[in-house]
Structure 1
Amino acid sequence: MSATLSPGQVTSPVLDRVVLAEAHWPASPADTPGSLPAIAGFVLSAFNPLVVEVAERCLRAHFGPPPAGRDGDRTAIVLASVRGDVTTADAVAAAVAAGTRVPPLLFFQSNPNAVLGHVAARWGLAGPVVCASPATEPGTDALACADLLFAAGEADRALVIVADLATGRGDNDQAVARLVTARGRA
């Protein structure tokens, strides 16, 4: 599954990163597709609740309950997904093909920045927000993006999220979130 960040991806030649917190979905047998909490304003798809849940787990592990406080001011959010929210994309495509009305919320949630805005507002994260859809290695891509933000002085921390929905071939929805910083900024 593409929603992985292997231990070998924790450091890079660009910057030496420190992992402040990490969370996964699924993390236990209780993490089933139907157990993701509903998120107001997001419908139909499990993608956005998946992103929110793994982000919440990671941020709580480091900051405790929201908001993040002053540390949130320079915390970026980076989301990478190979497939993105295919459920929403398929629903919009089907409605357009059938000539029927597309529910307005689907337009809102079809942009992955919408769910990251939800996380940022809840936690008081005011750093840059970046979404990427690399063909392969989303974890590597997301961490490289965080490195660029650190090197440019745009952020001191980055919540790096990799998420993909199940393809229906016996796999599960998967996501991982890591709160990282460049060594010396922790």
Structure 2
Amino acid sequence: MGVRAWARWPEVGDGEAPGVPGFVHSGFAPMVVAVAERCLRRRYGAGPVPAGVRTGVVLVSASGDLVSAEHVRATVETGGRVGPLFFFQSVPNSVAGHIAARWGLRGPVVCLSPTGDPYADGAAEADLLRYDGDADEVLLILIEQAPDTPTEAVAVLLGEGAQP
């Protein structure tokens, strides 16, 4: 499977990823959206993806949205009320679905917690989606939040043949 486009966040000159309506408190979803859109724009310009192309999304993260999870944990621990948006955004499929809806992607959405190398696990899932006939190409997004390092994300659009 070839690389049709790729992107990372941050790249030189990037600040914080822009906010995303419906997602609060954490930079996880905004970074996922920013890197995915950057990658898709490099392949398809302003979009959407052409109607005949079935593009799947595979989001790979061992940790998920740690900032939101910690906020919910602390709120519950102190007897506070958890805002309803946290129930929505606590599932990584929600941000992957947001990307699919915004770009008109017509393939499956899968979220993985890797057991080995995150890229290899995600690429293997992308291969399965293409082999099974569920997708013509797959947007693979890798992101990890860690308390002691800045969050970074990578997006790779995989499909038949490499294209710059």
2:133 is the alignment partner of 1:153: yes
**Which of 141, 159, 164 pairs up with 1:181?**
159
The runs of 5 or more residues in structure 2 that have no matched partner are none
Which position in structure 1 is the counterpart of 2:91?
111
CA–CA separation in structure 1 for the residues paired with 2:47 and 2:19: 18
Over the aligned positions, Cα root-mean-square deviation in angstroms equals 1.5
Conserved? CA contact 2:35–2:155, under 8 Å: yes
Q: CA deviation at 1:122?
A: 0.7
2:35 is the alignment partner of 1:54: yes
SS in 2 for 1:140: helix
Identity of aligned residues (%): 48
Conserved? CA contact 1:22–1:58, under 8 Å: yes
Which position in structure 2 is the counterpart of 1:42?
23
2:47 is the alignment partner of 1:66: yes
CA–CA separation in structure 1 for the residues paired with 2:160 and 2:128: 11
The runs of 5 or more residues in structure 1 that have no matched partner are 1-16
CA–CA separation in structure 1 for the residues paired with 2:129 and 2:100: 17
What is the CA deviation profile of residues 129-179 of structure 1, one whole-angstrom value per residue up to 9, with x for unaligned ones?
Answer: 0001124421111111001111111111000000112x232x221111011
SS in 2 for 1:113: helix
Q: How many residues end up aligned between the 2 structures?
A: 162
Compared CA separation, residues 175 and 18, structure 1 to 2 (3 A): same
2:147 is the alignment partner of 1:168: yes
- TM-score norm. by structure 1 comes to 0.83
CA–CA separation in structure 2 for the residues paired with 1:125 and 1:66: 10
Which position in structure 1 is the counterpart of 2:71?
91
CA–CA separation in structure 2 for the residues paired with 1:126 and 1:42: 23
SS in 2 for 1:68: coil
Give 4+ residue runs of structure 1 displaced > 4 Å after superposition.
none
Higher strand share: 2
Counterpart code for 1:31? D
Conserved? CA contact 1:82–1:136, under 8 Å: no
CA–CA separation in structure 2 for the residues paired with 1:113 and 1:183: 28
CA–CA separation in structure 1 for the residues paired with 2:11 and 2:30: 15
CA–CA separation in structure 2 for the residues paired with 1:38 and 1:183: 34
- TM-score norm. by structure 2 comes to 0.93
Counterpart code for 1:127? G
2:80 is the alignment partner of 1:133: no
